[in-house]
């Protein structure tokens, strides 16, 4: 089924700030000018404030006051600043979505994002960008949020069933002829994000069907399963041991170092406070 009616039903599609779109487009660009990025961030007072608040939080703080964007870039590093700005911008785009529990939605999204990034850090494959994996993870349910805007009552019913263990993708496809993965991928294309991000969103539920293989789709798929199992009460070690081998093996993971980092992520405190207004 065409997604055109869904996008037409939403009279004003959410748009990401220009600097966020620019930073996401730069994820695979090693030549981007840090000075240009700093100037772009400073043009957005809201994002600048959120970045500095994040940089001075307990989770991200470096033991000294981060007073300017240039300080943040110097003390935290470009990759960390880019991630914080992208996360802040995406969180700010989706406010007051009908029927959506904002804290639960973003808690799950950040958990998936952090695990996805860890998976890329510990993959032996060449050319993968951990920050791209984080961005795919933070966006993995953006399609569901858009569907909530267009169909809040039906989506609330689906959410209730998903909380009891029902498969989200199948329920959405049954009701609409498409599901959140397709909507998220189309929204990423609408925002003109790099193709690896839209591919990861499209194939996150069926990563082995992507041709060519999408490491980012596989990482998001594994991260979703890990997060879900821990949320259901599984011990972290048990959840890690049950990662599907068919999805895990193509990533060529260093399991020892991966397990150590993911255990820390799964047990870490909620980081949402610095991103909410």
How much is the pLDDT for 61? 63
Per-residue b/e over 150-167, b at no fewer than 16 CB within 10 Å?
bbeebbeebbeebeeeee
Q: In angstroms, rounded to a whole number, what is the distance separating the alpha carbons of residues 147 and 94?
A: 12
Q: In angstroms, rounded to a whole number, what is the distance separating the alpha carbons of residues 96 and 183?
A: 19
How much is the pLDDT for 65? 82
Q: Which sign, positive or negative, has the C-alpha torsion 190, 216, 61, 30?
A: negative
**pLDDT, tens digit only, all 277 positions of the chain:** 568 778 777 767 788 888 888 888 877 777 778 888 888 889 888 888 888 887 887 666 666 788 889 888 888 888 888 888 888 888 888 888 888 888 889 999 999 999 999 999 999 999 999 999 999 999 999 999 999 998 999 999 999 999 888 889 899 999 999 999 999 999 999 888 999 999 999 999 999 999 999 999 999 999 999 999 998 899 988 999 999 999 999 999 999 999 999 998 888 777 676 676 5
From the list 252, 235, 229, the residue with the least C-alpha distance to 112 is: 229
How much is the pLDDT for 204? 97
Tell me if 76 sits within 8 A of 55, measured CB to CB. yes
Cα angle value 117/120/126 (rounded, 5°): 150
Domains of the chain: 4-16+95-274 (1.10.3210.10)
Q: In angstroms, rounded to a whole number, what is the distance separating the alpha carbons of residues 90 and 135?
A: 9
The single residue listed with the structure tokens 């959405």 is: 172
How many CA atoms, within 13 angstroms, populate the side-chain half-sphere of residue 43?
Answer: 11
The two structure tokens encoding residue 27: 């994820």
The overall longest dimension of the chain from CA atoms, in Å, is 54
How much is the pLDDT for 91? 87
How much is the pLDDT for 16? 87
How much is the pLDDT for 78? 85
How much is the pLDDT for 62? 63
The two structure tokens encoding residue 211: 């041709």
How much is the pLDDT for 63? 66
């Amino acid at each position: 089924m065409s997604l055109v009616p869904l996008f037409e039903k939403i009279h004003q599609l959410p748009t990401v700030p220009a600097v966020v779109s620019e930073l996401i487009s730069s994820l695979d660009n090693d030549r981007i000018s840090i000075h240009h990025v700093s100037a772009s961030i400073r043009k957005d007072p809201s994002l600048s404030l959120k970045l500095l608040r994040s940089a001075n939080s307990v989770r991200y703080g470096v033991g000294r006051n981060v007073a300017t964007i240039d300080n943040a870039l110097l003390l935290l590093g470009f990759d960390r600043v880019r991630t914080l700005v992208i996360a802040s911008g995406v969180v700010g785009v989706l406010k007051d979505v009908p029927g959506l529990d904002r804290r639960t939605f973003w808690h799950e999204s950040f958990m998936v994002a952090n695990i996805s990034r860890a998976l890329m850090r510990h993959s032996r494959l060449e050319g993968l960008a951990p920050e791209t994996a984080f961005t795919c993870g933070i966006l993995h349910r953006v399609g569901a949020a858009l569907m909530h805007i267009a169909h809040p009552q039906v989506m609330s019913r689906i959410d209730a069933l998903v909380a009891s263990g029902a498969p989200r993708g199948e329920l959405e496809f049954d009701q609409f002829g498409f599901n959140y993965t397709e909507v998220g991928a189309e929204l990423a294309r609408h925002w003109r994000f790099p193709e690896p991000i839209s591919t990861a969103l499209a194939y996150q539920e069926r990563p082995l069907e992507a041709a060519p293989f999408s490491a980012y789709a596989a990482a998001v798929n594994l991260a979703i399963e890990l997060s879900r199992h821990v949320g259901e009460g599984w011990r972290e070690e048990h959840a890690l041991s049950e990662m599907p081998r068919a999805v895990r093996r193509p990533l060529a993971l260093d399991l020892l170092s991966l397990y150590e980092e993911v255990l820390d992520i799964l047990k870490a405190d909620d980081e949402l406070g610095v991103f909410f207004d």
